[in-house]
């Protein structure tokens, strides 16, 4: 297994650092979590010259709120992360409907390549227009 390297990316807030006036950066697990969230929220065909990048999660959120749709969402998330986020090894994806809040609770469990510490990320996918 490769040795751990530091991953660094710009924060999606584009705020400036109060001391250096540079853009704020995120590192390691935070950078990967930000990348996964952006990847999952990008619709297929949104990125020029990469028509297969992204998911159709937004369309799936308007399907019936049940365990069948949750299983499809889980499968799409797993396939997308395994295909496009090579910095992680996906251990598990849990997705279940939340009837009270009208959405899906998603839990991602992965390890960063070269690092043995597990990382857990929770997302809530809901319908917005």
Ranges assigned E (strand) in 12-129: 25-27, 88-98, 103-112, 118-126
Report pLDDT digits (tens) over 42-67.
999 898 999 999 899 989 999 999 99
- Residues of the chain above pLDDT 70, percent: 91
pLDDT score at 97: 96
Q: How confident is the model at residue 2 (pLDDT cuts 50, 70, 90)?
A: low
Q: Would you identify the CATH topology of the domain 8-45+54-126?
A: Nuclear Transport Factor 2; Chain: A, (3.10.450)
Domain-wise residue ranges, the chain: 8-45+54-126
Residue 12: which H helix or E strand, with range? Answer: none
């Amino acid at each position: 297994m490769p040795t751990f390297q530091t991953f660094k990316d710009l924060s999606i807030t584009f705020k400036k650092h109060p001391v250096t006036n540079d853009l704020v950066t995120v590192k390691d697990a935070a950078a990967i979590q930000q990348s996964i969230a952006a990847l999952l929220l990008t619709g297929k065909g949104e990125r020029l010259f990469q028509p297969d990048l992204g998911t159709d999660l937004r369309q799936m959120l308007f399907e019936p709120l049940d365990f069948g749709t949750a299983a499809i969402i889980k499968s799409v998330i797993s396939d997308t992360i395994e295909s496009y986020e090579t910095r992680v090894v996906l251990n598990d994806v849990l997705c279940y409907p939340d009837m009270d809040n009208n959405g899906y609770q998603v839990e991602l469990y992965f390890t960063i390549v070269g690092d043995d510490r597990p990382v857990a990320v929770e997302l809530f996918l809901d319908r917005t227009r």
